[in-house]
Amino acid sequence: MKGKKGNKKQWGKKKGRGKGAGNRLIDEQLRNSSSIWNKSIDFVPARNLQLATGYKSSKESIQKTDSGVEVAVLGRDKDGFKRPKRLAMEKSLVLRWKKAMPVGAGLVNLGNTCFANSVLQCLTYTPALASLCQASYYHKNHNPRPGFDAMAQLEIHISRALSHSKKVIAPKSIMAKLRMVNKGFRPMQQQDAHEFFICYLDAIHTACTSNLGNCSYQERSRAPSLVSAIFGGHLMSQTECQTCHHKSNTFDAFVDISLEIRGINKLYDALSHYTRREKLSVNNSFKCESCKNKVQIHKRISIHSLPRVLCFQLKRFSFSHAFGSKLKHKVKYLPVLNMHAFLSANLKQQVRKEDCVYDLYAVLVHSGFSLACGHYFCYVKSANNLWYLMNDSQVSFTKPHIAMDQSAYMLFYTRRHAPAPAALPASGQNEKEMKKKMEEIEKRKKMKEQQQQQQQ
């Protein structure tokens, strides 16, 4: 997403179960209605990335793209979600540090670049991403992108930062190309750390998919990349007619989730508020495509595909006036987070609670009165399992309870275990075929019994 003020609502283009556009009537009316404040879909995916890591379908095959990259092709699940292609290498991604290492380098502030420094440090201590960078995965598997290659530069930066303990390095190669990350970024100007995070992931995805050759923007945006492998998940938006109880599903990709915190003091409560069931129409203004009546509808957002790395933005900034304002209160967050309660209903039945556990590894903080002024720094959990304050060039050991007691702006969690649930039904069509076969077997069995009775 480009642009500094606020988060734009984005509606995914993936369709749920049903045939044709008729099954999307309620959602289409929602999108066209200016009177509905859609606070539930309030996350910020990197442009139109169609990202997923999620769970295996009962049908999976490995294919090679024109550039030789292996991808896994997945089928639909019972909610009608067609899982996108993903990189075959995702199965070997590590979610924990392979070995203990000392904390890495501090970063020189090159002129109001604390917003970028804090994000780069959070990315550096993302175990799944750091392990790939240390192994030079991108350099070995991709041709350099002409001009600014965001992933190539990040791979060099992370490897350099982790190998220069007790030193300070200057991320000049990235800061010199800020306008390539976002045209609105200017040298020596303060920017939003969350916006930099989203835009840089977008630039990484562009670099990772640059080898696809001649293809449409839509095809490129849906292609698998390191961003989808590590940060990508999906939300399911389900609307339900209150007259005939017909349900319609749509799906949206995300790389992080933005949570309302006004009047909320706990991360768990913010997630409950985000995924709550809500009434959207009071005056029967939406037409149900099933019963053909104008009805009241209820809507609920749930997580349909969990990412390997889960990022939250706590919405502290408001733009109600020229200089904006900030919510300064602390929102309690824990070192361990279980996301099972926020999954879609069908996915809850397929996934064990212990497979939904996340561990906190980075906390990004903004100090100041508004987005237009202030300072960014972060706390990270290093490969030696210790917490450190990363404040530009300053790197200092800190105790865990201090990292847990901040007015956090962004939170970074890594999944404890790799996804390994039971296989999901391939599609509703396959279920119908299976049911039909079972009926045929029962019919043949009855006919055989009748023949035996007649012979007797």
Clarify whether 273 is annotated catalytic: no
Residue in 124, 129, 123, 122 with CA at minimum distance from that of residue 95: 129
Clarify whether 375 is annotated catalytic: yes
Q: Give me the residue label for tokens 């996108």.
A: 84
CA pair distance 295, 282, nearest whole angstrom: 9
Helix (H, G, I), strand (E, B) or coil at 409: strand
CA pair distance 447, 445, nearest whole angstrom: 5
Gyration radius from the chain CA atoms: 24
CA pair distance 247, 224, nearest whole angstrom: 29
* Residue 142: CA count within 13 A, CB half-sphere: 27
DSSP secondary structure letter of residue 245: -
CA pair distance 359, 161, nearest whole angstrom: 23
Of 304, 375, 378, 401, catalytic: 375
Sign of CA pseudo-dihedral 23, 25, 26, 30: positive
Token readout for 372 is 């237009």
Residue in 403, 413, 415, 323 with CA at minimum distance from that of residue 365: 403
Of 114, 241, 311, 356, catalytic: 114
Which residues, in sequence order, are CB contacts of 5 under 8 Å at separation 6+? 319, 324
Return the active site residues.
114, 375
